[in-house]
A and B are shown apart, each in its own frame.
Chain A
Amino acid sequence: AQSVTQLDSQVPVFEEAPVELRCNYSSSVSVYLFWYVQYPNQGLQLLLKYLSGSTLVKGINGFEAEFNKSQTSFHLRKPSVHISDTAEYFCAVRALQGAQKLVFGQGTRLTINP
């Protein structure tokens, strides 16, 4: 089984500042890793994903994430945030084999202040 821990439930940041949203996972098998964004009263939109290859993954809206296998982490970063980045962010993993269900973290609410 897999589990995902998002270490911060809320992250307030000033506009144009950098941000890092932390995600750690636990799994006995190899996994794919994902970050999703959810705007109020909407579904989830994929920001980026790690399937294989380069551990630094670039996504939409200027976000990137780095897969660190030894630390079982997949932290999300953006060098300069905008007001429009205010949303809920979910980290998720899925096993390469077996049930292949997405397992989500608890979510991190990113609030951008002017």
Chain B
Amino acid sequence: GAVVSQHPSWVICKSGTSVKIECRSLDFQATTMFWYRQFPKQSLMLMATSNEGSKATYEQGVEKDKFLINHASLTLSTLTVTSAHPEDSSFYICSARDGGLVNEQFFGPGTRLTVL
């Protein structure tokens, strides 16, 4: 099956710094990528949807200036958490959709962000 990678798998940063998380589709072209946030023992909350070459569409309540998403190519999307604070600590998961007939979403392994 298709593989989606995320880097880093975990990151610890100081409050006020920015953190970039990469999401790559390794063996398919991802026309659409999604970014989710998951709090402990909770479900996934969609943060934004991005299509290659265009601006991301953010869900209601998600600060687009805080969570910068770039989808510059069909295999790479990045999420930058700007001026991170402890409340941004969470598990971030990306997902990529193969635009083929199956139209299935594949999930990355997630990135654990801890802001001190």
Q: Which residues of A contact B (CB under 8 A)?
A: 36, 41-46, 49, 90, 100-102, 104-107, 109
Size of the chain B interface, CB-CB below 8 angstroms: 22
Among residues 68 to 116 in chain B, which have CB atoms less than 8 Å away from a CB atom of chain A?
91, 93, 95, 103-110, 112
Task: Report whether B108 and A43 are in contact in the complex, using a CB–CB cutoff of 8 Å.
Answer: yes
Task: Report whether A107 and B42 are in contact in the complex, using a CB–CB cutoff of 8 Å.
Answer: yes
Task: Report whether A42 and B109 are in contact in the complex, using a CB–CB cutoff of 8 Å.
Answer: yes
B50 at the interface (CB under 8 A from A): no
Task: Report whether B112 and A41 are in contact in the complex, using a CB–CB cutoff of 8 Å.
Answer: yes
Contacts of B19 in A (CB 8 A): none
Docked Cα-Cα span, A45 to B95, in Å, equals: 11
B12 at the interface (CB under 8 A from A): no
Docked Cα-Cα span, A65 to B21, in Å, equals: 35
Contacts of A42 in B (CB 8 A): 109-110
Query: 23 A-B residue contacts at CB 8 Å?
Result: A41-B91, A43-B4, A43-B93, A43-B107, A43-B109, A44-B44, A44-B93, A44-B95, A46-B1, A49-B104, A90-B43, A100-B103, A101-B46, A101-B49, A102-B34, A102-B95, A102-B105, A104-B43, A106-B43, A107-B41, A107-B42, A107-B43, A109-B41
Contacts of B109 in A (CB 8 A): 42-43
Docked Cα-Cα span, A69 to B110, in Å, equals: 33
* A-B CB proximity, top 4 nearest: A43-B107, A44-B107, A43-B109, A104-B43
Docked Cα-Cα span, A105 to B45, in Å, equals: 10
Task: Report whether A46 and B104 are in contact in the complex, using a CB–CB cutoff of 8 Å.
Answer: yes
Contacts of A43 in B (CB 8 A): 4, 6, 93, 107-110
New contact pairs (16) apart from A43-B93, A102-B95, CB-CB < 8 Å: A42-B110, A43-B4, A43-B6, A43-B107, A43-B109, A44-B93, A44-B107, A46-B104, A49-B104, A90-B43, A101-B46, A101-B49, A102-B34, A104-B43, A107-B42, A109-B41
